[in-house]
Amino acid sequence: MDLQGKIIVVTGAANGIGKAMARRFHQDKPEKIILVDVDKKGLQALAEELSDTTVFVCDMACEDDVARLIRETEAAHGRIDLYCGNAGIFRMGGVETANEDFQKVWDINVQSHIYAARAALPKMLERGQGYFLITASAAGMLTQLGSLSYSMSKHAALSFAEWLAVSHGHQGIKASALCPQAVESNMTAGTDGSVAGIDGMLPAADVAECVVAGLAAEQFMILPHPVVKKYFQNKANDYERWIGGMKKLQEQFSQLAPENTDTGADVL
CATH of the domain at 85: 3.40.50.720
Let me know if residue 226 belongs to a domain. yes
Let me know if residue 100 belongs to a domain. yes
pLDDT in tens, 6-64: 999 999 999 999 999 999 999 999 999 999 999 999 999 999 999 999 999 999 999 99
Please give the Cα distance from 66 to 118 (Å, whole number): 10
Let me know if residue 98 belongs to a domain. yes
Read off the pLDDT band of 163 (50, 70, 90): very high
Let me know if residue 265 belongs to a domain. no
Q: What is the 3-state secondary structure (H, E, C) of 64-131?
A: HHHHHHHHHHHHHHCCCCEEEECCCCCCCECCCCCHHHHHHHHHHHHHHHHHHHHHHHHHHHHHCCEE
Count of residues in the chain: 268
Let me know if residue 242 belongs to a domain. yes
Strand partners for 33: 8, 53
How many domains in the chain?
A: 1
Say how far residue 164 (Cα) sits from the centre of its chain.
Answer: 15
pLDDT at 262: 33
Let me know if residue 189 belongs to a domain. yes
Let me know if residue 1 belongs to a domain. no
Find, among 135, 234, 235, 217, the residue nearest to 181 by Cα.
135
Question: Domain residues for 168?
Answer: 7-259
- Asked if the model's pLDDT at residue 267 lies above 50, the reply is no
- pTM of this prediction? 0.91
Let me know if residue 13 belongs to a domain. yes
